[in-house]
Amino acid sequence: MSAAKRAGGQAWTDSKRARAQAADEDGPDEDEDMIDMDLPEADDGPPEPYLDDDAGAADFVTLGAAFMGRSQRWSRPPVVGLLPAQHAISMQNFEADYRIDRPVRDLGPGSSEAKVAVLRLYGVTAEGHSILMHVHGFLPYFYVPTWPGFDASQAAGFFHALNNKVRANMGRDSVTNPVLKVEVVRRQSLMHYAPDGGAFLMITMALPTLVPTARRLLEGGFELPGHPYGYAFQTFESNFPFVLRFMVDAQLQGCAWLSAPAGSYRVRPWTARDGGALNTTSTCQLELDVHYSALQAHSPEGEWLKVAPFSTLSVDIECAGRPGVFPEADKDPVIQIANHVTVHGSATPKLRCILTLDHCAPIADAEVLSFESERDMLSAWQQLVVATDPDIVTGYNTLNFDLPYLINRARTLGVKTFPLLGRIRGSQSLVRDKTFSSRQVGTRESKEVTMDGRVQLDVLQVIQTNYKLRAYSLNAVSAHFLGEQKEDVHHSIISELQNGNADTRRRLAVYCLKDALLPQRLIDKLMLMINNIEMARVTGVRLNDLMQRGQQIKVLSQLYRKARTVGMVIPVLKREPTGAGGAGDVGFEGATVIEPIKGYYDVPIATLDFASLYPSIMMAHNLCYSTLVRRDDVSRLPSSVPWAKSPTGDVFVTAEAKKGLLPEILEELLSARKRAKAEMKNETDPLRYAVLDGRQLALKISANSVYGFTGATVGQLPCLEISATVTAYGREMIERTKAEVERIYTVANGYEHDALVVYGDTDSVMIKFGTADLAKAMDLGKEAAGKVTSVFIKPIKLEFEKCYFPYLLMNKKRYAGLLWTGTVKHDKMDCKGIETVRRDNCSLVKEVVDTCLRLILIEQNVHGAVAYVKGIISDLLMNRIDLSMLVISKALTRSADAFDNKQAHVELAARIAKRDPGMAPNIGDRIPYVIIKGPKGAKAFEKSEDPIFVLENNIPIDTQHYLEHQLAEPLKRLFEPILEHPERSLLEGEHTRSIAKPTPTTGGLMKFAKVTLQCLGCKTPLPAGSTSVCKSCADKEPDIFAQKLADVSGCEQAFNRLWTQCQRCQGDLHKDVLCTSRDCPIYYRRKKIQKDLSDAHDVVQRFGAPAW
């Protein structure tokens, strides 16, 4: 063997191959009986990894050597002693896809064609083995209704006509007979009420890819035998993804367990009766073939509630960018790749490993693999992914940055094996641009990286979708959820660290490892995996569908599952053109808001909420596609069918006539949620508890998303009659509640006060019963909830949950109050619609608004709040507010030319680039800025400046701008219900008259100014020769000096505390703090204190050095 001459990597591969061959020779037949496998074999896999013959300087890691001895530890536990004939095999399914392959008929019946679709289910066993199941025998199908005058004898003719037509229009995936079968079945359309079903044709196709062809032909006018003109069919269930179709029919929920019984499956490699060899195709530990009919899907209950020990790889990369340019994969090298592998259920990580370009000093609890060439490093990473075989690939912004960058970089360098990151050997991971829109997240442009058999979870995207935060940087998110600041290294320093020595690169590596660890910790803390697994189980879709698709697929999947059980079929609707005239814009009123009676209420305000309002309306009124009666058909309804007209004029039959599918789905979801909550009460195992909690949350979210699904005008199955009816009922109920409450609770009826509904919104009403006694208000609230509930149809239920006391009602959807659920202590301060999360407000606004609310609500001290505001305004105008409180930040999304309107942060980015190209912000960076004083009439965008530049150069802040454009509006809104003329009493007056005007040290006229020292006591100019005080202040000189010393002491203390805090955070005493996290409240202060301290010392120096 030539291995001796080659580098270690080759030797490794070769020795493995030798082992594999040896195994073959020992007993090719034994695999029937006993299967022991460790690593997947790579015989016919990707070409050999790139190798330089002279690569591998003594202490750089050569490719294969990197994994020699490690692969054992990194890979999954080996499969030992599996007897296919005696052992059933069960796995939790995490991902599924299909491939076009040749048929295998040994296991059961299937298509007669030479090409079939074989489903591939990827999963993990309870022992942690990775399995790929090839499922045979499942065929794609769809429905069309029969035409007028149809009789069963015409089916055969239709079959042949369709078969011929499709054959003539086949593209790439050609087969002899594209249509396999046409059967006449009884089905009912989901859409619109009909007393019973009719005859449908169920068309079974040879390949899933042929379904759209057939649909297009049928919809576009199909020449029926005996019909003179083309007949345009409406098709049913012809656009449902094949894999989901299979999951629905197999009753396989997402992330559910499934079993192949003993004897029903064959483990690859094996040879079929027709002589075809079935070899392994993937890097999974076990590959088996099984027929669709043998599979047993387990509903996730009882034993099958468990979660398999799946493994997660969290990745972060560092690139060495050039100054002022965002790293580009075709130019800038990847220098480090950090990896963090965890196995579900295990507290300690399985692997912490960093690949570095060039030497890197060792790191305590991580493996460091250093490479001399970037190509080797990239190859090694691909091998690491294959060896560790993760089920989930995660990270922070991995989908839009890390993974595409790696793939593009590998392409630039010609590392051919690199894109083989998926589980299927030889299939390349591709980067695709994708635009994703949904009502929930808006339109978002992103990238998609395919990786067969693995689920990708980008923590950034999940958090952006589910949480509203002020900032989404990893640092800000970690600070918010994990309560810790992380070191943030500016990208301009990264290249510097890389170009240093092994120790500076180690520094970077530690940082990079932390960035790989944090997403995993976020996943754990926020239960992202468990909650998503439960969502997949509840809605029946794959994890990847949850990650990469919107809300609709979830509802659709449930609808398909439900419809199948009752013999209904779901029509494929042609999408209505959106915009003017489209159905989407027809008068569809939103939820109601009872006009708020603005004010500050210092008596308890009881709040009544409708529990699950929209789902309960749909259940109460039996609203569904299948209960909606076509307007034209209303008059033709037989009198025996009971129906009701909704406030929108739409007619739905009642449950006695026919129970709707949506109400049934909702009932199941809500009762399942009740069950999950009941089980939670008795559950002692924390892991199972977490699973149940994730489930009840998923059930709640799912129930609430059904309404949205019917209203999604660009959706799969919009039905505005339903959604408009739902909101109309909702409005009516809110009005009704108001009327009932105000009718019952009056002095005339023997109550102490007349009740008044001060506000109502969507599903809640706020009632002032008049009493000042909290306990009494709560009793009245409970009583009212009961009384009003009785006027509504079941299961609509009005609940009393909380009182606000006191309550500040500013406007529609804008209120704040102390929330009480008990009478002893308030639960929290609840604020709605108060814009403290927006980043284009400086943090001063947030602090002022928060403090005012606390003073008003908790302290109930309105005067205190007014005094506080005046104090802050005075401090602001006197320039006593910390600069970090005034920083505004906006993301730089496109280059300056792309904006029509000039924007402050864009202009600033351009100016910074001019000043110092090395510090120029990149697209995507957040640009922090402050507004500085400019010449008279200068536009706001001309007055933005970098906070650090402002600190260094003593540039005066435009405090007036902050007062008028930042503070004024929120304060006016806040105080409007309380003060008569908030503007006059807050924003004008004595406290606004003292204004500080600092002298800038650069710019404009200062170039021509000569600096004359001023007396430190009275600010009169000093004559030449004196440096500290003037003659008339000479008496007070010791005092003035002592005062300046006190300034020094104050600065020294602040300096000490800020910089030692940063050292603690970075966890290192012997190295300089490098962090530039602009989200950290210390960052600007730390910078400013250096300046302040120097200045304070300089002032003291003016008194002369101590000379004794």
Partner 1 sequence: MEDAFEGAFAGEEVSGEVRRADAPYEAMDGPFRTTASDRALNGQYANIYFARLAKLRPAVLEQAKAQWCMSDAEVGAKLTKTLDVSDEAEDCVVLGTLYADMKLKPNVLEEYTRDPLAPAAPVPTHYCSADDKLIIEDETGRLVLTGSLLVGHRFVTGVVIAARGRLDASSAFIVSALCEAGLAPQPPLPSIVSLADADAEPRASDQYLALVSGLHVGIEGDGEHMLALQLLCDYLAAHVGGETELGLQSRIVRLVICGEALADADAGRPTGGEALKPMRARAQRSLAASLQALEAMLLPVAASLPVDVMPGVTDPSNLNLPQQPLHQLLLPLLCRHAHFSSTPNPHAFSLAGVRVVGTSGQPVSDAHKYHADSNGSAGAPDAVETLERMLRWRHLAPTAPDTLPCFPFAMDDPFVLTESPHVLFAGNQLRYGTRLVKGAGGQRVRVVAVPSFARSRTAVLVNLRTLRCHPLSFQSYRAQP
Q: In sequence order, what DSSP letters do the residues of 1037-1094 get, joined into one string?
A: HHHHHHHHHHHHHHHHHHHHHHHHHHHHHHT-SSS---B--TTSTTHHHHHHHHHHHH
Single out the residue of 613, 796, 855, 930 in contact with partner 1 (rule: CB under 8 A).
855
Residue 804, beta-bridge partner list: 605, 819
* Nearest distance from C-beta of residue 1072 to partner 1, angstroms: 5
* Nearest distance from C-beta of residue 1050 to partner 1, angstroms: 4
Q: Is 980 in the site for partner 1 (CB under 8 A)?
A: no
> What does DSSP say about strands 198-205 and 179-189: parallel, antiparallel, or unpaired?
antiparallel
Single out the residue of 748, 898, 1011, 1069 in contact with partner 1 (rule: CB under 8 A).
1069
Q: Which stretch binds partner 1 (CB under 8 A): 585-593, 793-801, 1018-1026, 1077-1085?
A: 1077-1085
CA 1023 to chain centroid: 66
Contacts of 1056 (CB under 8 A, 6+ apart): none
Q: Which stretch binds partner 1 (CB under 8 A): 126-134, 190-198, 854-862, 981-989?
A: 854-862
Single out the residue of 504, 762, 851, 1076 in contact with partner 1 (rule: CB under 8 A).
851
Q: Which stretch binds partner 1 (CB under 8 A): 372-380, 409-417, 968-976, 1054-1062?
A: 1054-1062
Q: Which of residues 864-893 bind partner 1 (CB under 8 A)?
A: 880
Q: How many residues bind partner 1 (CB under 8 A)?
A: 63
List phi, psi (to 5°) of 150. Answer: -70, 140
Q: Is 823 in the site for partner 1 (CB under 8 A)?
A: no
Q: Which stretch binds partner 1 (CB under 8 A): 46-54, 172-180, 404-412, 1089-1097?
A: 1089-1097
Q: Is 799 in the site for partner 1 (CB under 8 A)?
A: no
Of 219 and 1052, nearer to partner 1 (C-beta) is: 1052
Single out the residue of 270, 326, 436, 1059 in contact with partner 1 (rule: CB under 8 A).
1059
Single out the residue of 1055, 1075, 1078, 1084 in contact with partner 1 (rule: CB under 8 A).
1055
Single out the residue of 72, 164, 271, 1101 in contact with partner 1 (rule: CB under 8 A).
1101
Are 690 and 591 in contact by the 8 Å Cβ rule? The answer is no
* Nearest distance from C-beta of residue 815 to partner 1, angstroms: 20
Three-state secondary structure string covering 966-1016? HHHHHHHHHHCCCCCCHHHHHHCCHHHCCCCCCCCCCCHHHHCCCCCCECC
Percentage helix, strand, coil for the chain under 3-state DSSP, each rounded to 5:
40, 20, 40
Q: Tell me the three state secondary structure of residue 323.
A: coil
Q: Tell me the three state secondary structure of residue 939.
A: coil
| Closest C-alpha to 804, from 837, 836, 831 | 831
Q: Is 752 in the site for partner 1 (CB under 8 A)?
A: no
What gap in Å lies between CA 517 and CA 508, rounded to an integer?
14
CA contacts within 13 A on the Cβ side of 888? 25
Of 214 and 477, nearer to partner 1 (C-beta) is: 477
* Nearest distance from C-beta of residue 863 to partner 1, angstroms: 15
* Nearest distance from C-beta of residue 490 to partner 1, angstroms: 16
Look up residue 372 and give its two tokens: 């001399």
Can you tell me which residue has the tokens 């490093």? 377
Q: Is 1093 in the site for partner 1 (CB under 8 A)?
A: yes
| Closest C-alpha to 204, from 176, 177, 225 | 177
Single out the residue of 44, 303, 503, 827 in contact with partner 1 (rule: CB under 8 A).
503
Single out the residue of 68, 199, 363, 978 in contact with partner 1 (rule: CB under 8 A).
363
Q: Is 1107 in the site for partner 1 (CB under 8 A)?
A: yes
Q: Is 1097 in the site for partner 1 (CB under 8 A)?
A: yes
Report cis status (omega within 30 of 0) of the bond before 795: yes
Three-state secondary structure string covering 802-838? EEEEEEEEEECCEEEEEEECCCCCCCEEEEECCCCCC
| Closest C-alpha to 261, from 300, 308, 294 | 294
What gap in Å lies between CA 656 and CA 3, rounded to an integer?
79
Q: Is 998 in the site for partner 1 (CB under 8 A)?
A: no
Of 949 and 1041, nearer to partner 1 (C-beta) is: 1041
Q: Which amino acid is at 202?
A: M
Q: Tell me the three state secondary structure of residue 378.
A: helix
Q: Is 1052 in the site for partner 1 (CB under 8 A)?
A: yes
What gap in Å lies between CA 966 and CA 1037, rounded to an integer?
41
* Nearest distance from C-beta of residue 64 to partner 1, angstroms: 24
Look up residue 199 and give its two tokens: 């005859």
Single out the residue of 1054, 1076, 1099, 1102 in contact with partner 1 (rule: CB under 8 A).
1054
Of 80 and 858, nearer to partner 1 (C-beta) is: 858
φ/ψ region of 991 (left if φ > 0, alpha if ψ in -120 to 50, else beta) reads alpha
Q: Is 1050 in the site for partner 1 (CB under 8 A)?
A: yes
Q: Which stretch binds partner 1 (CB under 8 A): 549-557, 559-567, 739-747, 1056-1064?
A: 1056-1064
Q: Is 1094 in the site for partner 1 (CB under 8 A)?
A: yes
Q: Is 412 in the site for partner 1 (CB under 8 A)?
A: no
Q: Is 806 in the site for partner 1 (CB under 8 A)?
A: no
Of 548 and 889, nearer to partner 1 (C-beta) is: 889
Residue 432, beta-bridge partner list: 448
Of 370 and 723, nearer to partner 1 (C-beta) is: 370
Residue 91, beta-bridge partner list: 258
Q: Is 1043 in the site for partner 1 (CB under 8 A)?
A: yes
Q: Which of residues 157-216 bind partner 1 (CB under 8 A)?
A: none
Single out the residue of 772, 858, 1009, 1018 in contact with partner 1 (rule: CB under 8 A).
858
Single out the residue of 207, 1058, 1077, 1078 in contact with partner 1 (rule: CB under 8 A).
1058
- Give the chain's largest Cα–Cα span: 120
What gap in Å lies between CA 402 and CA 390, rounded to an integer?
17
Q: Which stretch binds partner 1 (CB under 8 A): 470-478, 901-909, 953-961, 1061-1069?
A: 1061-1069
What gap in Å lies between CA 450 and CA 448, rounded to an integer?
6
Q: Is 1071 in the site for partner 1 (CB under 8 A)?
A: yes
Q: Is 1037 in the site for partner 1 (CB under 8 A)?
A: yes
Q: Is 1046 in the site for partner 1 (CB under 8 A)?
A: yes
Single out the residue of 1068, 1076, 1099, 1102 in contact with partner 1 (rule: CB under 8 A).
1068
> What does DSSP say about strands 222-223 and 265-267: parallel, antiparallel, or unpaired?
unpaired
Q: Which stretch binds partner 1 (CB under 8 A): 352-360, 526-534, 807-815, 1031-1039?
A: 1031-1039
Single out the residue of 294, 361, 968, 1033 in contact with partner 1 (rule: CB under 8 A).
361
Q: Is 1047 in the site for partner 1 (CB under 8 A)?
A: yes
Q: Which of residues 438-497 bind partner 1 (CB under 8 A)?
A: 485
Strands annotated E in 232-362: 257-260, 265-267, 270-271, 277-278, 286-291, 296-297, 311-319, 334-343, 351-357
Single out the residue of 157, 230, 362, 567 in contact with partner 1 (rule: CB under 8 A).
362
Are 1089 and 1055 in contact by the 8 Å Cβ rule? The answer is yes
Are 977 and 598 in contact by the 8 Å Cβ rule? The answer is yes
* Nearest distance from C-beta of residue 1045 to partner 1, angstroms: 5
Q: Which stretch binds partner 1 (CB under 8 A): 593-601, 694-702, 725-733, 1081-1089?
A: 1081-1089
Judged by the rule CB under 8 A, the positions of this chain that interact with partner 1 are: 361-365, 485, 503, 506, 847, 850-851, 854-855, 858-859, 880, 1037-1039, 1041-1043, 1045-1050, 1052-1061, 1063-1065, 1067-1073, 1080-1082, 1085, 1090, 1093-1094, 1097, 1100-1101, 1103-1104, 1106-1108
